[in-house]
Amino acid sequence: MDRALSALLEAQELSPVGGLHPLGGGDIAAVYRLETSQGTVAVKRDDAERLAGEADGLQALREAETSLLVPEVLALGDGWLVMQAFDEAGSRSSCSAEVLGEGLRQLHSQTAVEHGWSRDNACGRTPQSNAPLADGRAFQRERRLLPLAKACHERGLMDARLRSRIEVLAETLEDWLPEAPASLLHGDLWSGNVLYTPQGPAVIDPAVYRHYPDVDLAMLTLFGSPGEAFFEAYWDGNTPHDWPRREALFQLYPLLNHLLLFGGGYRSGVERALARVEGG
């Protein structure tokens, strides 16, 4: 076992029983399960700054005290993050979807005036600027859409015309998107970051900041759907009239990030989402 990890575990009085067991799904970082004499823990190996941002986000989600389960951070240092591990033997059902919806509504009810966060973090391997802005439209434009469109264009992943369309959209958000308080977000809530445990749904791998709550909802629907029970619990029958357009808008950033991280296969998704927003 890595010496730095051994020292980190020893400092927290966690005694390993056996070695690290790789867990699936780690496209960005290596994730392991480790048995200790004090119970099972999850261990992640990654860039130290990204892990610090993740640990900060986990702490913020735990302090929000919602019905969602959030791993406790047990140790952090030298490129390692040690966390509470959850048993994933639970099942996805209408009941668990309802709890997920209620928990996310509780999280989003915690609002602030400024959009952003006290520190930058990362969405996958992509650095994520969270410098606060008072206006959410400006935050979405300056901190999310324009930087990602620029990066994709500079790497040859989109042409000048597509970049220009995104820039026009970003500059006209004030024409249709109302300002709103900044909700506390998970920030990277795709389906793979929701675990279904016997105690209820848990959320992992956050990229926390404050912004429109649509960010988390749009991410959950990007590669599937959390189900009708989720939306009934979250919206309580009050579906926003412009949800399809808002959903497409807030899917643009994660789609641009996927284009940047994984290549041209995601360009068509960017174009489809952009067309949905442009169509109103």
The set of catalytic residues is 188
Burial of 275 (0-12, 13-18, 19+ CB in 10 A): exposed
Structure tokens at 52: 């610090």
Structure tokens at 163: 């970049």
Q: Which residues contact 227 (CB under 8 A, 6 or more apart)?
A: 94, 97
Apex 67 CA angle, 61 and 73, nearest 5: 35
What is the three-class DSSP state of 195?
A: strand
Give me Rg for the CA atoms of the chain: 19
One DSSP character per residue, 150-211 reads: HHHHHTTSS-HHHHHHHHHHHHTGGGT-----EEEE-S---GGGEEEETTEEEE-S---EEE
